[in-house]
Amino acid sequence: MIPKVYILDDDVTFAKLLAANLGKAGRFRTEICDDGQALLNRTTEEPADAVITDLVMPGMSGIDVTRRLRESDRHLPIFVLTAHADMETAIEALKVGATEYLTKPVNMDELLTLLKRSLEERPLREEATDIQKVRREEFSLRAILGQHSQIDEVRAFVGRVAEVPRPTIMLLGESGTGKNLVARAIHYSSPHSDGRFVEINCSALPAQLLEAELFGYQKGAFTDARESKRGLIEVANAGTLFLDEIGDLSVELQAKLLNFLESRRFRRLGGTEEIEVSQRIITATNRDLEASVREGKFRSDLYYRISVATHTLPPLRDVKEDIPLLAEHFRDVFNREFRKNIGSISPQALNELTGWHWPGNVRELRNVIERAMIFADGEVLRPTDLPKLGSIDLATSTETDGQAFRVSQGLTLAEAEREYIRMTLDAYDGSVQRAAEALGISRKNLWEKRKKHGLLS
């Protein structure tokens, strides 16, 4: 269908000329209105594919019309026409939702290009909105499963901080307790969930690469900087920046992060222009940061800056009553993923799951159910379907840091390597540096192996 474009302008002669140009070769169907309310009435009768409106008109202004149109259609292309003298007002129109503004006399080639691009991009924006809606449901408070009082406290914490405009939040807890899930729940439960959720693992990259990822860089800032690149801080503007494993941040980067948190301004590497952003900052760590501060490994001023709102997530062994609920949830998840129809988990299997101490917490439980679901054939998940709990056992001696690793039969070499890396990271409280040293490989090599085995989340 040919797109319908409404033109709102009290200068009817100009509007007719604009309509004639847009209607050439049947590119657009056009309709002219000389009154804002009349336009709003018409768009309820026949929806617009795009609207072009003058800025200054008697009665309802272009800003008022834009605001009203945007309330009913988040993705409608709206173009505001303005004289040079109205530039400040045009910027105000952008703030209330205008897609773009153009100065009179209108450059038709520019207008046609913008119209075509906006109409092509609209399905993508609508799809992105649908994805955001799905994510808001997927990562809502309901995603934090459990009936234990400690889980109730987690949900209450999320509900409180989500309503606060862009606070600084710190999530504590052992590896695998769900800090990533809680961070996403905070973001998608907030009034600013339309912004992006941007996550970076502070232990996954070397310090120099991490700095470039966070702050971005200008073209020519270093040898391989052939083009300028926005950093993740800039990408997360108006959204949420999640800094996972912040306890592994280098001392040099701690100072730069503190400066950014104090001013919400930064410069790209090699750049001179200060960039200002506004976003929610969430940090997470499985380390004892207070001990790191005492040992001089973590800056006290940064610690106080990021610990404005803090909550510790409970380990799974402290909320064992919720293990059956979580196990059944993961069964349902992997039923859909593997296209299976396993209807339940037997009481005997649930007893075995509940009796384990879960050093890897919820992440370990998920992995156990995933492996069981892969190999199970019946309609009920039974103890014989579960991998032998504790068959992969990593014990760390406080005196020698010696490690004993036992692999159950049936694991492939890749599966054994994955479990060995995961258990080593858990043993060293998620410290990539210490785990890499224990494994006898570089941080970069460990990062590549974690990526290969899906252990970066």
Q: What is the pLDDT of residue 412?
A: 67
Q: Report the distance separating Cα 386 and Cα 162, nearest Å.
A: 38
pLDDT of residue 394: 38
Q: Which pLDDT value is given to residue 334?
A: 93
**213 in Cβ contact with 231 (< 8 Å):** yes
The number of residues in the chain equals 457
Q: In 3D, which of 190, 202, 189 has the Cα closest to residue 249? A: 202
Q: How far lies 12's CA from each of 8, 26, 81, 107, 441, in Å?
A: 9, 21, 14, 18, 74
Q: Cα 167 to the chain's mean position, in Å? A: 16
pLDDT score of 399: 34
- What dihedral do alpha carbons 419, 421, 426, 432 form, nearest 10°? -160
Whole-angstrom distance, CA of residue 286 vs CA of residue 403: 21
- Per DSSP, helices labelled H in 33-107 are 36-45, 62-72, 87-95
What is the Cα–Cα distance from 300 to 4, expressed in whole angstroms? 60
What's the confidence (pLDDT) of residue 408?
Answer: 53
Beta bridge partners of 265: 276
Identify the pLDDT of residue 190.
Answer: 87
Whole-number Å distance between alpha carbons of 337 and 367: 14
CA distance 369 to 382: 11
**Please, are residues 330 and 340 in contact by the beta-carbon 8 Å criterion?**
no
Residue type at position 36: G
What is the residue whose two structure tokens read 């040293």?
437
**Residues facing residue 284 across a β-bridge:** 171
Q: Is 163 exposed, middle or buried (0-12, 13-18, 19+ CB in 10 A)?
A: exposed
What pLDDT was estimated at residue 220? Answer: 82
β-bridge pairing 240-244 and 197-201 = parallel
Other residues' Cβ atoms within 10 Å of the Cβ of residue 206: 12
Contact partners, residue 69, CB within 8 Å, separation at least 6: 40, 43, 48, 51, 76, 78, 97
CA atoms within 13 A on the CB side of 363: 20
Identity of residue 121: E
Please tell me whether residue 109 adopts helix, strand or coil conformation.
helix
Contact present, 64 and 36 (Cβ < 8 Å): yes
Indicate the residue type of 38: A
The span from the CA of 138 to the CA of 136, in Å, is 6
Q: Along the chain (457 residues), what's the average pLDDT of each consecutive run of 10 residues?
A: 92 92 86 93 92 90 92 90 75 86 88 90 72 66 91 95 90 93 92 86 87 90 81 92 94 94 92 90 94 94 95 96 96 92 95 91 92 91 85 38 50 74 79 78 82 78
Regarding beta strands 229-230 and 216-217, do their DSSP bridges make them parallel or antiparallel, or are they unpaired? antiparallel
What is the bridge-based pairing of β-strands 265-266 and 394-396? Answer: unpaired
pLDDT confidence of residue 132: 60
**Domains of the chain and any CATH numbers:** 4-131 (3.40.50.2300), 139-312 (3.40.50.300), 316-389 (1.10.8.60), 393-457 (1.10.10.60)
For residue 237, give the DSSP letter. T
Location of structure tokens 């060293």: 428
Peptide bond into 123 cis (omega under 30): no
Q: What is the DSSP string of 3-32?
A: PEEEEE-S-HHHHHHHHHHHHGGG--EEEE
Helices (H) and strands (E) in the chain, counts: 18, 18
Q: How many whole angstroms separate alpha carbon 430 and alpha carbon 248?
A: 9
